[in-house]
A and B are shown apart, each in its own frame.
Chain A
Amino acid sequence: MRIMKNIVFIMDIDLGGEGRFASSRRAPYKFSIDSWKHWASKNNAELFILNDLLMSHEDMGICWQRYYLFDILEANNIEYDQIAMVDADTIIHPDCPNFFELTEGKFTGVHCDASYDWVCRSIENYSKHMFEEHKMPFWEYIDCGFMVVNKKHKSFFKDIVNLYHSNKLAFKEMEKFHVGTDQTPVNILANKNNVDLKLLPYEYNMVDLPRKELLANDLLFTNCGWIYQFNCIPNNEENKATYYWMEKTYKHLYEN
């Protein structure tokens, strides 16, 4: 009998397009993957990297495809206990505590402590146009760049996928607001479906580091928390700044 392990699941797919989908955007993801590889091995977890799209990007946006998580793992004959689904623009500190032990078996994430103009606007816009005015408390809104789930959440993920397929055109239409793709619908749906949510402290998914005055060459953030998401970086032409910070952080944490 195979032993069930905790899984770290990362998508790293080359869309070969332009702009947001340019291959160059992926360049720094290697630092993320290597950091997670290291952490997973230290914490008896297994790293799973998805390199291929399940269907065309036009049929289903890349961010949405990750909610086939359970199907993907099962199709690959992977036994799993809990799964951390993380974005490839994150780097984890080698000494990060084993967060799988903190989840209480619940749907786990970290509150998105970033621009509340964006968060509130996104909740309101999606609520009005896609969820019949169903609102959720802004303080329970999580960033989907780090989520921990388990078998119990299979049906919730199925609901997410079904929601997408039943409202594909409407989701496309929502893009004009520039308030995210899957993140807000997933948050509202979790709230609407009363999915039991466990929030971990900000230190487990440190988004928008510049807003916290932490993104500087002293890499102070590596002393202040465990998982760093390199988003909301200003002057980030062609993702060069992301590459700079991720490379620098990785080297600092793993090559010194």
Chain B
Amino acid sequence: MKKNVIYWVGVINPEHNDKYGNYEYFEYSKNTWKHFCKRFDCHFVEINKPIEDDLFKFRINWQKALFVFDELEKRNIEYDQIALVDSSCMYKWDAPNFFELTERKFIGWRDVDNMRWTNDSIVGYENIFNNFKLDRTKYINSGFIIFNKSHKEFFSSFKQLYYDNVDKFCELQDKIVKKGTEQTPLNYWLQINNVELKTDLPIAFKLTHLHRKEMFGHNWQLNEDNTPYFIKYGYNWIFNGLPKHERPKIMKQVWEFVKHNYSDDILDTTVHKDTHKFTTSRKFKEDILKYFSKGYKDKTLVELGCCQGTTTKIYAECFGKVIGVDIDTWNIGQAKNNCSSYSNVEFIQQDLYNSKWEFPNADVVVIDAGHTYEHIIRDIPKIKKYFNNPIIIIDDYGNPNQTIRKGIEELVENNVITIKHKIGADAGFKTATGLVFNDMEGVICES
């Protein structure tokens, strides 16, 4: 069956291992594109070996354009549209499907980052194309282009052009122009052949030169969300235009920051206490998913002290409605961001200890606010009364630095609550900050 194709090119050249940090970044790029293919039912076609072995005459950038149709047919892949993707690109986990926006035209994005470079390249190749006057407003970057079978003839003629002039192209590329490889010749050939180009898709689909665009930062004035702009607003992050030896480090950092979003397991989509301070452990979340797996879809949970919403999204999987409350504005911003894909979650910024409670009735209440004995013995009775004896989840029961457990034990002894289940990481678990639990992480209580 015909499918759209992600034609991903990442060929290791051992001579450049040092320069490219052993090409480890290929994996990060590949992971994101495989995820795209899974989401949108596309073929992932990986080119990891050169087709022509002479990498001097046939740079990989040339090979990706020259042999794309040959390779697909050699591999018996039934293709519809093809996106040719460089290994320096990472695609955002929830970004839209660009194949639906192409109008079946040749798609590219304008290259207006370093316009001196593009000018020199355009001027440098003008001669070999008989002084053809290129329309610069249609000059595209070739690191990410989309086309289809109707462009097969075009690529075939481009290949012929290269084979007929390979020595001239190599000389221009390596000795005279020294600005790029196949990109500018491809642009000339597209325009000379009057290929209908669509260049108006949002630049979010091709965010190049991130440092030049100043997109590595976040809004330090509002300081509500420290997600870098390119991740927050971009779809396709392209790590070019920066020193090549920096690329592996930067892509690794980005991958570490976003990798949880690429997993199908809900537990992989959030952070846990072994690596992050303000959250619960993976086991805690797993236990919540198990305990509340059935019969709670029409019920409401209120989380008092939701922090950055990393466990809230787990509650959102189980309950019909989840209300997260936190005193800290920045936390609320982060929580909103972490739960942005859930429509059943609402957040309220409120100081629980110095304001009137006006929450809707809830069947289950999480208390993870004040972390002392005094807080617990005051909070639990108040929760019981206000919410009419809900199920209560309490975090940090086994935290050695807190006196929560003492409070809970006293309330149990006085028949205020009973512990139904102990949940989460066991005694001996070491948190991101080096604390070692002396009992289980949390408890589920009933009145």
Contacts and interface: CB of A to CB of B under 8 A. Distances in A.
Given A212-B115, A213-B116, A124 B219 contact: yes
Contact of A120 (B113, B200, B202, B229): B229
Contacts of B213: 115-116
Interface in A190-228: 199, 201-203, 211-214, 216, 220-221, 223-225
Interface residues of B, number: 26
* Residue of A137, A213, A223 with most partner-chain B CB within 10 A: A213
A120 B219 contact: yes
A224 B119 contact: yes
Nearest to A129: B222
Interface residues of A, number: 31
A21 interface: no
A211 B114 CA distance: 8
A42 to B, nearest CB: 20
B137 interface: yes
B214 A212 contact: no
A221 B212 CA distance: 18
A202 B204 contact: no
Interface string B184-221: 00000000000000001011100000001111010111
Given A117-B214, A117-B229, A214 B116 contact: yes
A220 B204 contact: no
B214 A115 contact: yes
B115 A124 contact: no
Interface residue SS majority, chain A: helix
A221 B112 CA distance: 12
A120 to B, nearest CB: 5
A177 B220 CA distance: 11
B110 interface: yes
A142 to B, nearest CB: 13
A128 B222 CA distance: 9
Contacts of B40: none
Contacts of A111: 203
A68 interface: no
A143 interface: no
B114 to A, nearest CB: 5
A213 B117 CA distance: 8
B382 interface: no
Contacts of B212: 211
Interface of A: 111, 113, 115-118, 120-121, 124-125, 128, 137-140, 177, 179, 199, 201-203, 211-214, 216, 220-221, 223-225
